[in-house]
Chains A and B, each alone.
Chain A
Amino acid sequence: MTSPDANLFQQQEANRRRTTWLVIGFVLFFAWLGFGGDYIWALEGRHPFPWLGIAMATLAILGVWYAYRTGPEKVLWSTGATELTDPKTDAERQLANVVDEMAIAAGVPRPRVWIIPDDDPNAFATGHDLGDSHIAVTRGLLATCNRDELQGVIGHELGHVKNLDIRLMTMLAALVGAVLLVRDGMGRTMRVGESRKSKNAGPLLAALVALWVLSWIFAPLIIQLLALAVQRGREYLADAMSAQFTRNPLALASALTKIEAADAPTAAIKRGAAHLCIADPLGRRFTNSEGWLADRFATHPPMSMRISRLKGMGYAALKQAGQPI
């Protein structure tokens, strides 16, 4: 069996570093949107003081701070999840117990548990660090999975927690939301600026203006691409960690098969939080294809690949134990 524990520290370190770079990139991008605009207007002889740049940079820094502080809350809120504090039904009691058990297996503090009112089976994890983590599952998952399969899914989510994937992914989700919000809000201002473009501008100015306008238009796309660039390999790693915690990779394989079979999109989970989930909630077609394009534009690796890797681990373990496959 693979031992992801050996490079756990590197993985955590890499995620801390990536979060920092994400924040720096985000602030720089906003500064460019602001100061770039100021520069263009300055070349045209308009207002000399970079109000827009200062405003945008401040906004970005405040946005990052706000995103960091409230990211997990906002993500949970956007899915309509409610916290499971006092389990009442058998399924809820089982979920609470399974989370306790897997937290022991993973050697992490117990995360808070949330339930999403949605009939499609799915799950995600969010939070800042090991001491402040959240796991949310849909009602559909509780109805679909048996105890062993639920263990596999929760183990997968705790893999994300232990790797500190949650910090990077939640930050990304919050920033995607922030960019969309700012773009929608600033869209009108931008169009006014465009229409006042002077006719006799030099080629440098024209290029600058074009680049600046394009940056505005593609801002959400760029940040989505960032989300994709960091995602695909993580799912395989979390699957492997789940197998290490439960010692039962076949149960997770069977859970993934069930989640895959219920191919209705998870309506409660919006686009911004899609990359957090165990299975792509949007049901996008290219998630299940291989190749260059899919590697860059799908948030999740193909389910068939994940299942076959898990089955490989499971059969290897059975063979070692000398049991019939």
Chain B
Amino acid sequence: MWVLLVLVVLAGLWIVSAYNGLISLKNQTANAFKQIDVQLKRRHDLIPNLVNAVKGAMDFEKSTLEAVIQARNQAVKVNAAGPEGVKQISQAENALSGALSRLLVTVERYPQLKATGNIGQLQEELTSTENRIAFARQLYNDTATQYNTKQQQFPTTLVAGLAHVERADLWEIEDQAERAVPQVDLSGR
């Protein structure tokens, strides 16, 4: 009789802790997803300022700058449509990443540009912005993987239905070139 009671209490305690663990992971995953949004927005806000800062020095590469601005405006428009269009958002952001990396390559082609103070800062800010987005995605993917694994593993999977959890989608990075953007080191150090 007593043994049974102890077992029931232990099982109850386990259910509570497993449930809470799942909920905590669920919230962490949601929070990590929001972080990506925050960083994308930061990128959108930053680009006009950066482009203005270097416009004068880069008069001869107008088309590269315009491509960046256009890609940025497109990304802002798609993002405003809301989270339903995840596919379009990631497409627009990938296009923006491509335009930005072309800008960085262009800057590298003109060593005399780097002497201008603004351009050095532009490089650093762009590198940092791309890193932030990459790291925010990485954190989201890591957290979501942990969350998904926990849901599927025995015995936590028994509580999964109770906690109303569902698989979180990982953020795919389709474009290999995008992965390489943060690695662009133009500082020559």
Which A residues are closer than 8 A to B by beta carbons?
5-6, 90, 93-94, 97-98, 100-102, 104-107, 146-148, 244-245, 247
Q: Once the chains bind, are A90 and B128 in contact (CB under 8 Å)?
A: no
Contact residue among B120, B132, B142, B187 (Cβ-Cβ distance under 8 Å from A104): B132
Contacts of A107 in B (CB 8 A): 28, 32, 35, 139, 143
Minimum CB–CB distance for B38 against chain A, Å: 9
User: What's the interface size class on B, roughly?
Assistant: 20 to 34
Specify the chain A residue showing the minimal Cβ separation from B183.
A148
Bound form: Cα–Cα A247–B183 in Å = 12
Q: Once the chains bind, are A105 and B187 in contact (CB under 8 Å)?
A: no
Contacts of A93 in B (CB 8 A): 121, 124
Specify the chain A residue showing the minimal Cβ separation from B125.
A97
Bound form: Cα–Cα A5–B143 in Å = 9
Q: Is the interface of A mostly helix, strand, loop or mixed?
A: helix
Bound form: Cα–Cα A147–B187 in Å = 9
14 contacts between A and B (CB under 8 A): A90-B120, A93-B124, A97-B124, A100-B128, A101-B132, A104-B35, A104-B39, A105-B135, A107-B28, A107-B35, A146-B189, A147-B127, A147-B187, A245-B135
Contact residue among B124, B132, B136, B185 (Cβ-Cβ distance under 8 Å from A148): B185
Is residue B157 within 8 Å, beta carbon to beta carbon, of the partner chain?
no
Q: A90-B124, A94-B124, A107-B139 are in contact. List 11 more A-B contacts (CB 8 A).
A: A5-B146, A90-B120, A93-B124, A97-B128, A101-B132, A101-B135, A105-B138, A105-B139, A107-B32, A147-B185, A247-B138
Contacts of B120 in A (CB 8 A): 90
Is residue B131 within 8 Å, beta carbon to beta carbon, of the partner chain?
yes
Bound form: Cα–Cα A102–B39 in Å = 13
Q: Once the chains bind, are A100 and B132 in contact (CB under 8 Å)?
A: yes
Contacts of B143 in A (CB 8 A): 107
